[in-house]
């Protein structure tokens, strides 16, 4: 989980769910730092993916891969708890 002290989310900017992306819920993604860590972990671990991580909605959308197990493993390795959305 994030160790920063900047845990403000902006619910007025919650992302809409992309029907063409694999989507996970990550309840312990609490801020922009968390979102960046998750995005970087997935995009580095699975080159060619495009990731949108939104702390307001707690959703992570991944395009370019359908390997749910690998994506969940990368998010968990980054210190977060992913579940299917």
- Which pLDDT value is given to residue 11? 42
Start-to-end CA span in the chain (Å): 19
H helices within the chain, ranges in order? 32-45, 68-77
Dump pLDDT digits (tens) for 28-64: 999 999 999 999 999 999 999 999 999 999 999 999 9
Neighbours of 11 (CB within 10 A): 8
The CA distance from 84 to 62, in Å, is 12
pLDDT band, residue 9 (cuts 50/70/90): very low
CATH topology of domain 28-84: Alpha-Beta Plaits (3.30.70)
- Find, among 13, 64, 63, 3, the residue nearest to 33 by Cα: 3
More confidently predicted of 2 and 41: 41
């Amino acid at each position: 989980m994030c160790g920063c002290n900047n845990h403000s989310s902006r619910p007025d900017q919650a992302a809409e769910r992309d029907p063409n992306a694999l989507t996970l819920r990550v309840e312990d993604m609490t801020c922009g730092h968390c979102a960046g860590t998750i995005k970087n972990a997935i995009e580095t671990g699975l080159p060619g993916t495009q990731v949108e991580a939104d702390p307001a909605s707690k959703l992570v959308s991944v395009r370019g891969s359908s390997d749910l197990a690998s994506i969940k493993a990368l998010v968990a390795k980054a210190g977060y708890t992913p579940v299917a959305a």
